[in-house]
């Protein structure tokens, strides 16, 4: 089984709809992250969480919110989706060390019409 | 602020040829640097990382990278490309308490 799972894998939604992307990990790590990937821009950090009570905004958090329901679960919500949020979204987890490897999920492809 | 720049959004090589993917960093403190690879329809996975222990870092699948402070570079190389190396490669730097900052990526094509 995969260490990091994301649901759904693909989602098409309409402008203005609320949508939640879910992430679960079995690595037992405290740190979890949400990134979005756009062609030519690499990955950009949306939110990160160092434990259940420690949630921080990344460089592009506007329009997004997160919930850390448990050590293993970290959800990303788009309260009112807009077309420029169409992207590939990745969840990741890592250990506590500065150079600890980040383990990525397979991604969720989100299309906002 | 720490950042990385990847030179060349697309690189094409022939099978068996040298692979060279370029990454330059900007950092006011000694950086921690990473290379990740993304195969089609998959998430990213770590190729190698520089943590100041050694300037030449060896990774998986025959890849290696050399940290050159004088050139502020961390280029990724592989002596002989294989068809299975076709993927997108991302250089990244660890920015303190926050998570990784990624470059814009380089897509590697391997021609038969």
Residue-wise pLDDT for B22-46, tens only, equals 999 988 777 899 999 999 888 899 9
Task: Determine the average pLDDT of the residues in B75-85.
Answer: 97
List pLDDT tens digits, range A58-100.
989 999 999 999 999 999 999 999 999 999 999 999 988 878 8
- In DSSP terms, which residues pair with A25 in a beta bridge? A4
Length of chain A: 113
Please check whether residue B105 touches A, CB under 8 A. yes
Question: Which pLDDT score is estimated for B52?
Answer: 80
Token digits of residue A7: 């649901």
- Contact between B109 and B19 (Cβ < 8 Å): no
Distance from CA of A60 to the nearest CA of B (A): 12
Residue with tokens 């329809």: B41
More confident residue, A41 or B17: B17
Token digits of residue A72: 């293993």
- What percent of chain A is predicted at pLDDT more than 90? 88
User: Which chain B residues in 37-66 lie under 8 Å from chain A, judged by CB atoms?
Assistant: 41-46, 49, 51
Question: Which pLDDT score is estimated for A1?
Answer: 61
Q: What's the half-sphere exposure (Cβ side, CA atoms, 13 Å) at A3?
A: 15
| CA–CA gap between residue A32 and residue A76 (Å, rounded) | 11
Pick the residue of A59, A91, A99 with the most B CBs within 10 A to test the interface with B by mutation. Answer: A99
Distance from CA of A81 to the nearest CA of B (A): 23
Say whether pLDDT at B96 is over 70. Answer: no
CB contact under 8 A, A104 and B98: no
Token digits of residue B3: 């950042």
């Amino acid at each position: 089984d995969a260490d990091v799972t994301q649901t759904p894998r693909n989602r098409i939604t309409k402008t203005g709809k609320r949508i939640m992307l879910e992430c679960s990990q079995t690595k037992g790590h405290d740190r979890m992250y949400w990134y979005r990937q756009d062609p030519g821009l690499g990955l950009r950090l949306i939110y990160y969480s160092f434990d259940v009570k420690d949630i921080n905004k990344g460089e592009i958090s506007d329009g997004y919110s997160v919930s850390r329901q448990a050590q293993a679960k970290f959800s990303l919500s788009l309260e009112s989706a807009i077309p420029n949020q169409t992207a590939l979204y990745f969840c990741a987890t890592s250990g506590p060390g500065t150079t600890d490897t980040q383990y990525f999920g397979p991604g969720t492809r989100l299309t906002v019409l | 602020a720490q950042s990385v720049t990847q030179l060349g959004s697309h690189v094409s090589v022939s099978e068996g040829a040298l692979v060279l993917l370029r990454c330059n960093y900007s950092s006011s403190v000694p950086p921690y640097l990473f290379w990740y690879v993304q195969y089609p329809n998959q998430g990213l996975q770590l190729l190698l990382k520089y943590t100041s222990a050694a300037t030449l870092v060896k990774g998986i699948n025959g890849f290696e990278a050399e940290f050159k402070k004088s050139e502020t570079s961390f280029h990724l190389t592989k002596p002989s490309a294989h068809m299975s190396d076709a993927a997108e490669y991302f250089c990244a730097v660890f920015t303190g308490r926050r998570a990784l900052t990624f470059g814009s990526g380089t897509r590697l094509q391997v021609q038969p």
